[in-house]
Structure 1
Amino acid sequence: MLPELTPEALQTRLQEGPAVQLVDVRQPEEYDFCRIEGSLLIPLGDLPGRVAELATDKQVVLICHHGVRSMQALAYLQHRHGLTNLLNLRGGIHAWSLRVDPSVPVY
């Protein structure tokens, strides 16, 4: 099973300080509609050419709408690039909106 964390666990980590990098792999129009503040947009299709933008000195939390694309991104980055500092946000930004921050619009 690929490593993941719940929206609540992510909230705790963010409250403790910027010890993670948030990477949103959705499309620009989705990101423009709603996002977790401080996240970096790297659409899934652009990821192969932008791997160098990912942090290597802290955990990287991958985010999408429901957690499927970000899980694909995590698997790709682990298997093709050997990255071990990755976590998938379980349930994606949808779960974040419902369980942590209702000010983030749901779509």
Structure 2
Amino acid sequence: MSYAISVRELKDRLDKGDKVFLLDVREPHEYSMAKIEGSVLIPLGTLPTSLDQLNPADEIVALCHRGMRSADAVGFLLQQGFSNVKNLVGGIDAWSLEIDPEVPRYR
């Protein structure tokens, strides 16, 4: 099973109305600069104490700036027994480049 999803796949799924929980694991200052509409911010460092905010039955797509922290989040969630989790490859940066140029890019 693949634990990765491209920005194009995610956009297509959202456009179809698929129910996907978008978990943004960046820091609040990053989230305030750029976000995908409907995403929920739970910074990676607080994820272990925030598991009660997640439903293991949901399909969860984790995202961050470029995909590294969200890959860590996916690994952690898998260890916690979550099975339907995916990492957004390229993160919000790829989303801005390939899907929605209205979403600001940052360093």
| TM, length-normalised to structure 1 | 0.94
- Give the percent of matched residue pairs that are identical in Structure 1 and Structure 2: 46
Q: Counterpart in 2 of 1:21? A: 21
3-state SS of 1:93 partner: helix
Q: Counterpart in 2 of 1:96? A: 95
Q: Counterpart in 2 of 1:64? A: 64
Q: Could you list the runs of 4 or more consecutive aligned residues of structure 1 that deviate by over 3 angstroms after TM superposition?
A: none
Q: Counterpart in 2 of 1:76? A: 76
CA RMSD, Structure 1 to Structure 2 (Å): 1.3
Kept after mapping to 2: 8 A contact 1:2/1:75: no
| TM, length-normalised to structure 2 | 0.94
Q: Counterpart in 1 of 2:84? A: 85
Structure 2: stretches of 5+ with no match in the other structure: none
Q: 1:88, CA displacement in angstroms?
A: 0.4
> How many residue pairs end up in the alignment?
106
CA distance in 1, matches of 2:18, 2:81: 23
3-state SS of 2:50 partner: helix
